[in-house]
Structure 1
Amino acid sequence: MDSICNPCSRRNCVSKLTHWCSDCEDGLCEKCLNDHKVMKMTQSHRIVDISEIPAANLKLLSIPQCERHPDCREDFLCLDHDVICCHACIKSDHNDCKNVSNVNGLSKGASKSELFIANMQTSQEVRDSMNKITEERQSVKENVTKQQQRIKMEIANTKSKFMEHINNLEKVLIHELTNIEKDNRMLIEEEMTDLRKTIKEVEEDENTLQFVADHGSESQLFTLLTKRRKKHDNILKMLKKNTTNV
């Protein structure tokens, strides 16, 4: 996000932005902020002090630009291909598509839409399920360790009775047991690492969605929800697979 006031920039002036208007998607300086507050059309707009926005989240408020056409905004949704794109993409790639709509129209009410609510609910359910699976994996890991200790004790007791024979048997059993424990532990730790990573991603996505819902525009929220739909579908598939294997 630029650190200059957008309205002033359009007047070919330079002034430092101090506030952000979520409805206009504009950064405002103190003067433009005062103008914003007195104008009837903008009195009810959602405005936040830029200092209250974490630096890491500032880029989320930037107007979404097309990766292929950096000078163009992503203002359109092609329902035929389920993709957000700019007007240049529409002309070049979606000229024959029948279901193309403007994001601004579709995004009205996005913060209260079933898509947003369902997305947040899904995020919560995914996090809860991931945490449950992590706890179960930890329990399995502990049980594997306990089983190893129990078997070692049994081997030691048998060794005292059969001495030479059990010495050879002990080496074989310990070797096999160590390999089994190692394989199981590594597998579980890999799963737990993936789960923790996914949990972190889900939490970041949830925080991002909530932040954009609170401070971004409806079109920004709708765009973000649309872009992350497939990602959440993949997470749900992974969750279903892990739940089945528990």
Structure 2
Amino acid sequence: MASNFESSIQRGCDFIHDFSCSPCEENGFNTEAHHYCTQCTKYYCQNCVSKHNGLYQKHAVLGRKDVNKWEAAPGVVDDLERCGKHPAEALKLVCGDHDRLCCHVCVAVDHRQCSKIHPIPDVAKGIQRNIEFQQIPKKIAELEKQFGLMKEARIKNTTSLKKTRTAISDEIKTIRKTINEILDKIEKATLQDLDGMIAKLENNIKKDIETCDKKTIELQNMIAAFQTKAKSSESKSYIAYRKSQDMMSQANDQLRGISVIACYNVTFQANNLIEELLFAVKTFGTNEEQTVMTKQREDPLSDSNHVFSVAEYKEYNVKMSDDKGECDILGVCELPSGEFVIVDYDKCKVKLLDKEYRVLDHCDVPGEPWDVCHIHGNEVAVCVVSGTKDKRGLHFINAMKGKFVNTRKLSFTHECIAAAHHGGQLYISSWNALYVYTMSGQKVKMLYKDMSGGLTVEKCAISNDGKTIYITNYDAHQLITLDNNGNKLALLTDPDMKHPTGVHVTPAGHVFVCCCGSDTVLQVEKDGKKKLATLARKEDGLHAPGDLFISSRSSSLIVVGEKDTLLVVKLI
């Protein structure tokens, strides 16, 4: 619409108008419209409106000052055919290069370099006989049913959480009877912690229910569109088919994201030494958030014993126009929204990427960033290793509506080169030791230390149950596996494991390691004792990889390193 973008966009010697004169267009001329007739449902330029007004003096003609009403006028653009990006325009073209439905403005703005632009009627021929098109209503109905079932499960989950809260509260009160009144404050703190956790989980369930309701309505609307509009013409059928595919893809992504967690739960572990340690503890015990994972059929990420192979490798450029020199990406993580955060060591930048790995935003940090980890929601923590003492440490950043917002910072008495978050605690690597901290920056313990020389503790990853910790020993070419008390369970070396840098573990327990010295990405057995597969090498696009992350949304490994591109490894 005119309120959203200029009324015309130049492409060579042609102009694309947000509204073109209908009579001129029929005669092969490209003229901008300044009037709209609500009865004729046509647009008119200054010359043509004079002729129209002479013939139809009683017709209601709207000028440019009422342009907002043009789009709302009946019959202007059918909702099914309306361009989602430019609502005033109808979808009339298909870009074969990007596999996208387009209006004329889309082509002028976003696809002017594309070579495969086809009219919809040409590609829509025979669509109504297409088996996939005929099955769309059935597939939508099935998705609607699944969202309904998911909503019912989440409602039941709310009830079980309330029962859990009651059970834990009773246990707390039983313990309370054995000690004196000094525990009143501890009881209050524990219950507040529990209620906060339950409220958080209930809020997650509420969001899941709202998503189910929203997608159900969208799917119902699409079924209605099929019944009332889609079969009236091949073009509309094709548009309905394409829009339905996109909708189902998005719905499946959202459903998959929700269904990964079958049930939220909370457990309570009493502190058996509470009477002896009465003045040293702050709560009766630890409320631990638990999620029961749903095993996905035909999803290799849900099978803890699956050994992956590669379907394809793709590179995506993440260099910004003002970046000088080659990028050196040392850290990557994914947000719940599907966006990615990467840190560029050489540029002292943190970059936000969309689902298609395009840079949305960036912010500078006051030193060289070595790692980034996801905390919760849209919050990440970035490890800054250089600069003055007051600038080094862990910087917390929120990604708000595609923009970065710096929130707070933690400082330590030791280096902070890498971080991981699990169970409300921070795991901080410092070249040769791994520490555990609270989210407020209070040191809990030093979990592991190796003073044999060099970079012995680089990055770490924690298993979903919190019982296993994986550490990369860069200079000894090792992957070290620990239990949650810091005891060494395994030590892995391999010819393909030279200078290991990043390590990542999935909720199901798959372990992946990238190695800077050998330019490789490995899958390792979850007990840390054996290499299962080498998934990528230098010839596949790796160059000194620094970190990796597996996206459950796309079943892909995202690998970053000393290169302007990141490598996306599609796994099967």
TM-score normalised by L of structure 2: 0.29
Alignment deviations for residues 4-52 of structure 1 (CA, whole Å, 9 cap, x no partner): 599xx9xx789x9xxxxxxxxxxxxxxxxxxxxxxxxxxxxxxxxxxxx
Match of 1:237 among 233, 236, 253: 253
Question: Is 1:188 the counterpart of 2:188 in the alignment?
Answer: no
Contact 2:172 2:187 in 1 (8 A): yes
Match of 1:207 among 224, 244, 252: 224
Match of 1:174 among 187, 191, 194: 191
Structure with the higher fraction of residues in strand conformation: 2
Contact 2:90 2:103 in 1 (8 A): yes
Question: Is 1:150 the counterpart of 2:167 in the alignment?
Answer: yes
Q: Give the Cα–Cα distance (whole angstroms) in 2 for the partners of residues 75 and 112 of structure 1.
A: 21
Q: Which amino acid aligns with 2:200?
A: D
Alignment deviations for residues 170-199 of structure 1 (CA, whole Å, 9 cap, x no partner): 323322221221111112112222222222
Question: Is 1:97 the counterpart of 2:98 in the alignment?
Answer: no
Displacement after TM superposition at 1:155 (Å): 3.8
Q: How does 1:55-74 map to 2 (within 5 A)?
A: 61=78, 64=81, 74=91
Distance 1:58 1:128, change over 3 A: farther
Gaps of 5+ in 2: 1-36, 43-51, 60-71, 263-572
Q: Which amino acid aligns with 2:147?
A: M
Displacement after TM superposition at 1:222 (Å): 1.1
Q: Give the Cα–Cα distance (whole angstroms) in 1 for the partners of residues 73 and 140 of structure 2.
A: 21
Task: Identify which of structures 1 and 2 has the higher relative contact order when contacts are C-alpha pairs closer than 8 Å and 6+ apart.
Answer: 1
Q: Give the Cα–Cα distance (whole angstroms) in 1 for the partners of residues 146 and 180 of structure 2.
A: 49
Distance 1:81 1:223, change over 3 A: same
Contact 2:91 2:103 in 1 (8 A): yes
Distance 1:56 1:245, change over 3 A: farther
Overall identity of the aligned pairs, in %:
18
Q: How does 1:5-84 map to 2 (within 5 A)?
A: 61=78, 64=81, 74-84=91-101
Question: Is 1:218 the counterpart of 2:226 in the alignment?
Answer: no
Contact 2:229 2:236 in 1 (8 A): yes
Alignment deviations for residues 70-117 of structure 1 (CA, whole Å, 9 cap, x no partner): 7x86444343332334679779956873573x4334434434432322
SS in 1 for 2:97: coil
SS in 2 for 1:84: strand
Q: Which amino acid aligns with 2:115?
A: C
Match of residue 126 from structure 1: 143
Displacement after TM superposition at 1:60 (Å): 6.8
Displacement after TM superposition at 1:143 (Å): 0.5
Q: Give the Cα–Cα distance (whole angstroms) in 2 for the partners of residues 115 and 192 of structure 1.
A: 29
SS in 1 for 2:165: helix
SS in 2 for 1:77: strand
How many residues in Structure 1 have an aligned counterpart in Structure 2? Answer: 200
Displacement after TM superposition at 1:208 (Å): 2.0
Displacement after TM superposition at 1:234 (Å): 2.1
SS in 2 for 1:224: helix
Structure with the higher fraction of residues in helix conformation: 1
Displacement after TM superposition at 1:140 (Å): 1.3
Q: Which amino acid aligns with 2:133?
A: F
Q: Give the Cα–Cα distance (whole angstroms) in 2 for the partners of residues 176 and 88 of structure 1.
A: 53
Q: Give the Cα–Cα distance (whole angstroms) in 1 for the partners of residues 170 and 184 of structure 2.
A: 14
Alignment deviations for residues 131-172 of structure 1 (CA, whole Å, 9 cap, x no partner): 121111111111001111223334445555656366455323
Distance 1:212 1:237, change over 3 A: same
Decide which moves more: 75-84 or 179-188.
Answer: 75-84
Contact 2:140 2:219 in 1 (8 A): yes
Q: Give the Cα–Cα distance (whole angstroms) in 1 for the partners of residues 96 and 146 of structure 2.
A: 31
Question: Is 1:139 the counterpart of 2:162 in the alignment?
Answer: no
Q: Give the Cα–Cα distance (whole angstroms) in 1 for the partners of residues 105 and 184 of structure 2.
A: 77
Contact 1:158 1:166 in 2 (8 A): no
Q: Which amino acid aligns with 1:242?
A: I
Contact 2:92 2:103 in 1 (8 A): yes
Gaps of 5+ in 1: 17-54
